[in-house]
Structure 1
Amino acid sequence: MGYYVRVESDVHIYVEDINRMSQKTILFIHGWPANHKMFEYQFNQLSQMGYRCIGMDLRGFGQSDKPWEGYDYDRLADDVRSVIGALKLQNITLAGHSTGGAVAVRYVARHRGYGVSKLALLAAAAPSLIQRPYFPYGLKTEDVKQIIQDTYHDRPNMLQGFGNMFFFQHITEPFSDWFFQLGLQAASWSTAKVANTWLYEEKLFQDMGEIQIPTLILHGIHDKVCHFPLAEAQKQEIKNAKLVPFEYSGHGLFWDERDKFNQELAKFIG
């Protein structure tokens, strides 16, 4: 079932809600620059296992509204709060991939984990996606600036290049085309503005220290986007966190090792 949640007077967020009668709920937050459909292989299997799977499209992406402003982590986390409140969710698992994982971290810290009893970080872009003087493990600043420039000049080519580095396992050309289309459904300005927040605003070192709920970290060791040392930093900074490395996965571990991914997530939730 799909519907919209109003998060501002003129901004609505699209939500896909599967197996609504289940008491075990997972709210998925997708990564940049895709949308909730990237979790297709979780929705199919986990719903059959008895879980309620909710996917939301972040503002600017997928079927959500695409305003000009509002792409910092605070605003995106506030959108998550609006969705959780509108759906009256309680004791859920919040699962975020890549930038969605960063938003999930900010949500738990900013909103004190409202409605959330467990956190799953899936190749999360935390504590910092880019390299900093005190954190040398992320992407190079110039590479992110190139992504932003390419977004404004040839977004389809940028998306294709990003997709080519996303998965570790072999993907078919039809699958590659499908994944490419997910990125095209976003607005160009939201695609660029979220990337811009990686550079100048968003770091999550303090946020991670405020997380008190059980946290599962799933991360591919071949990840070329959010390098594996990010997962190790998450494990070190988040109390009560468990790290599960994925030896045959890149950034797209939700597909690369989807059976293991779903099993680990289900085992964590219980």
Structure 2
Amino acid sequence: MILYVEDINPSGKKTIVFLHGWPLSHEQFEYQFNVLPAMGYRCIGVDWRGFGKSDRPMTGYSFNRLADDIKSLVDALRLKDFTLLGHSTGGAIAMRYVSRHNGYGVSKLVLVDAAAPTGFTADTASDFLKKNLNDRPQMMQDVTDGFFFQYITKPFSDWFMQMGLQAASWSTAAIIITLRDEKLYTDLPKINVPTLIIHGVHDKVIPFAQAQELNQKIRNSILVPFHYSGHGPFWEEHDKFNQLIAQFV
């Protein structure tokens, strides 16, 4: 099983590993990769199994398996003292990695609108699963429509949708089930690295209240609200986002 990895500025002074959200790919961080490497950071974008340009096996979509995939990446690239940044479901995977692998190699953690400690409700999961099996482009349109607080252009919407449709339909469905069934409450006490929590105040996907809960339960964490963002502060307020990441790392 091969993971697709993009390693930008490998000689950079500090390393940031980016974990995308469902059902996207590392390409969602284009507006970080345009800026942070030029500031001297090494940025590593990885597509999880089943998404983007990675291999698409039928199985292996639990948080444990996805976290173990990240451990394999860390070992293969011999990463040390890096910042692990996860958005949405990628935030849940990042948390599971830190708790399951005792924070191996991670010096700092960034959670961006993380799908934690809970993910999808049963109703939301049921709706997404039905559309995924019957009209996946419409499901992706619904994801796009509910993602942003700020206005996006039609070309941007089309690009965003196509990114989500790169994923296999079976992996897309499997992650919906994982987000419905898996919780991360027991992971929170095991997170001992400095943690930055970024969350859009207007997030319709993962309510801001969940970021406040993470902030209360993760030691040594800070919460920075993004007042003009929904679920995508990495794009909606990308200048502020990039500056904040550079300061924190």
Q: Give the structure 1 partner of residue 149 of structure 2.
A: 168
> C-alpha displacement at 1:210, in angstroms?
0.7
Q: How does 1:240-259 map to 2 (within 5 A)?
A: 240-259=220-239
Quick check: 1:231 aligned with 2:221?
A: no
SS of residue matched to 2:140:
helix
Distance in 2 of aligned mates of 1:75 and 1:173: 36
> C-alpha displacement at 1:198, in angstroms?
1.5
Distance in 2 of aligned mates of 1:129 and 1:193: 13
Q: Give the structure 2 partner of residue 30 of structure 1.
A: 20
Distance in 2 of aligned mates of 1:186 and 1:254: 21
> C-alpha displacement at 1:144, in angstroms?
1.5
SS of residue matched to 1:12:
coil
Quick check: 1:190 aligned with 2:180?
A: no
> Which residues of structure 1 form unaligned runs of 5+?
1-10, 131-139
Letter in 2 for 1:169: Q
Q: Give the structure 2 partner of residue 76 of structure 1.
A: 66
Q: Aligned residue pairs: how many?
A: 249
TM-score (norm 1): 0.91
Q: Give the structure 2 partner of residue 43 of structure 1.
A: 33
Letter in 2 for 1:188: S
Q: Give the structure 1 partner of residue 10 of structure 2.
A: 20
Quick check: 1:219 aligned with 2:199?
A: yes
Q: Give the structure 2 partner of residue 87 of structure 1.
A: 77
- Return the match for 1:126 from 116, 141, 146: 116
Distance in 2 of aligned mates of 1:158 and 1:197: 17
- Return the match for 1:179 from 155, 160, 164: 160
> C-alpha displacement at 1:23, in angstroms?
2.6
> C-alpha displacement at 1:220, in angstroms?
0.2
Q: Per-residue displacement from partner, 1:37-58 (whole Å, max 9, x unpaired)?
A: 0000001111111100000000
> C-alpha displacement at 1:154, in angstroms?
0.4
Letter in 1 for 2:156: F
> Which residues of structure 2 form unaligned runs of 5+?
none
Letter in 2 for 1:53: C
Distance in 2 of aligned mates of 1:189 and 1:65: 12
Quick check: 1:114 aligned with 2:94?
A: no
Q: Per-residue displacement from partner, 1:83-117 (whole Å, max 9, x unpaired)?
A: 01100000000000000000000000000011110
Runs of 4+ in 1 over 6 A off after TM superposition: none
SS of residue matched to 1:13:
coil
Q: How does 1:97-112 map to 2 (within 5 A)?
A: 97-112=87-102
SS of residue matched to 1:45:
coil
> C-alpha displacement at 1:215, in angstroms?
0.2
Distance in 1 of aligned mates of 2:149 and 2:64: 32
Q: Give the structure 2 partner of residue 96 of structure 1.
A: 86
RMSD across aligned C-alpha pairs, in angstroms?
Answer: 0.7
- Return the match for 1:263 from 224, 243, 248: 243
Q: Give the structure 1 partner of residue 46 of structure 2.
A: 56
Letter in 2 for 1:99: T
